[in-house]
Amino acid sequence: MTRLTAAITAPMVDRAREDITLAVQRGAMMVEIRLDYLGSRDYGTLVHDVSVPVVWTLRHTSEGGRFDGTVAEEIDQLAAALETGGDYADIEFRRWNEAGAGREKLLNAVRRLREKGRDVKLILSYHDFQSMPADLPAAAQPIIHERAADVVKVVGFARDAGDNFTVFDFLKNSCKPAIGIAMGPAGTASRVLAKKFEAELTFATIEADKSSAPGQLTLDQMKRDYRWDTIDHATMVAGVIGHPVEHSMSPVMHNRAYTAMGFNAVYLKFDVADTYEDFARFIDGIRARPWLGGIGLSVTIPHKTHAIRYLESNGFDVSPLAQQIGAVNTLVFPKDGSLSGYNTDYVGILESLRTAAGLDRKALRGQTVAVLGGGGVSRAIVAAMAEVEADVTVYNRTESKARDLANEFGVKWDAWERRNDLKARILINGTSVGMHPKVDDCPVDPTVLRPGMIVFDTIYNPLQTRLLEAARESARAGGRPVSPGD
């Protein structure tokens, strides 16, 4: 059973006890007490009546912690903490080796406690705070072969979602109880899927500002947003692939839908760098690991055109509509090892205009439409507007991309610098301008917006972008109510 573990970083005993109580209330199955944060050695009071297992950790400054004492002092404190209670002691393998004969003090403490009937364990750890070593399994081998290690812990820093694969491989193949983590925002999958791979534990934080390592999710996020309680070895994996994806609300929406459906899957964020080569490497990584249980991906900026290139290069199926648009926003992984690609943006755009602005296909015919952007979503917008015979003009920062897109679908284009002179009745933003975190940006000068203009922003985080706010302000200035389509 993988224990969801809350890291406790409070500096005082009374505050640490409050945090432990709060962590248990929020669903923590274990707590890690960071002694290098704690300004007291009153360990007995700290863990008195704690209802969940406890990990004692004293991380040295050379290993990303706050303790700057000798390794002998480190051994002394861990042994003393274990004597008062708790279930694990965690020490860096490098420090363990430096301790030499001094290790016996901690080992003797463990033996005595086991003789008394306490099931205490020693975690030996390896951390790399700069990167995810390609040879992480090799780095773990000396720890695995160390007889004193009851649990092997390896941690690297994820620069890309593909770095999670290194952790998954380690957890799957470890011959000892193991903990594997990819730190940083790109490593979220390693924290959530630890339970699928039956890791000894994974870490979360009570609140975002109390994190003990980069990329830790809160307990609430793990349980509510990522369905922690339902994950098991059979859980299937889906997600959104893009760059950036930190802003994405897709996991919340999909995971709640899975809950409602009773569907044993979890939906994650995969931040993959913006080149085709990075995208292809990640998809290859999923295909090479059928045991991961990958079932599909939502594809967002900048990978929609990369997806169709990958499918065509490998002889996989692309739906006729996605072929026509030249972009894929949905990848499906059938059990036979193949891939299929689809585009649902096209239908979403037409349905949004019909339901929010009252414009069906017939009503869109001949309407003047300005499309901002030339990426995957803009291709779907232009394809949809051209199909209903709207009067479309494309604006994009890269002039050649705007021209090529316009020529491909038989519409017009204009220079990005002239977007503030547009006279269209319908304005659709297909760029990332205004997306979180740059929420104050607007893709056009607000003076372009006029009462009666229909403004459609494909960004949904924030729900009310600066563009939509400016459109509403323009509608109010025109003296008429703001409708859902404004």
Please name which of 401, 427, 433, 426 lies closest in space to residue 414, comparing C-alpha atoms: 401
User: Which of the 8 DSSP states describes residue 12?
Assistant: S
Gap between the Cα atoms of 351 and 346, Å rounded: 9
Give the 3-state secondary structure of residue 401: helix
Q: Is 216 exposed, middle or buried (0-12, 13-18, 19+ CB in 10 A)?
A: buried
Give the 3-state secondary structure of residue 3: strand
DSSP conformation letters of 282-303: HHHHHHT-GGG-EEEEEE-TT-
Note if 304 is an active site residue: yes
Please name which of 296, 292, 297 lies closest in space to residue 334, comparing C-alpha atoms: 296
User: HEC profile for 345-390?
Assistant: HHHHHHHHHHHHHCCCHHHHCCCEEEEECCCHHHHHHHHHHHHCCC
Is the bond preceding 462 in cis, omega lying within 30 degrees of 0?
yes
Please name which of 418, 372, 368, 421 lies closest in space to residue 395, comparing C-alpha atoms: 372
Is the bond preceding 290 in cis, omega lying within 30 degrees of 0?
no
Q: Is 312 exposed, middle or buried (0-12, 13-18, 19+ CB in 10 A)?
A: middle
Buried/exposed 67-94: b ≥16 CB within 10 Å, e otherwise: beeebeebbbbbbbbbebbbbbbbbbbb
Q: Which of 153, 195, 210, 304 is catalytic?
A: 304
Please name which of 386, 368, 393, 273 lies closest in space to residue 324, comparing C-alpha atoms: 386
User: Which of the 8 DSSP states describes residue 60?
Assistant: B
Strands annotated E in 408-468: 412-415, 426-429, 454-457
Please name which of 187, 195, 200 lies closest in space to residue 230, comparing C-alpha atoms: 195
Give the 3-state secondary structure of residue 135: coil
Identify the H or E element spanning 202.
Answer: strand 201-204
Q: What are phi and psi of 154, to 5 degrees?
A: -125, 135
Residue 42, Cα to own-chain centre: how many angstroms? Answer: 38
Cβ(177)–Cβ(144) below 8 Å:
no
Catalytic residues: 304
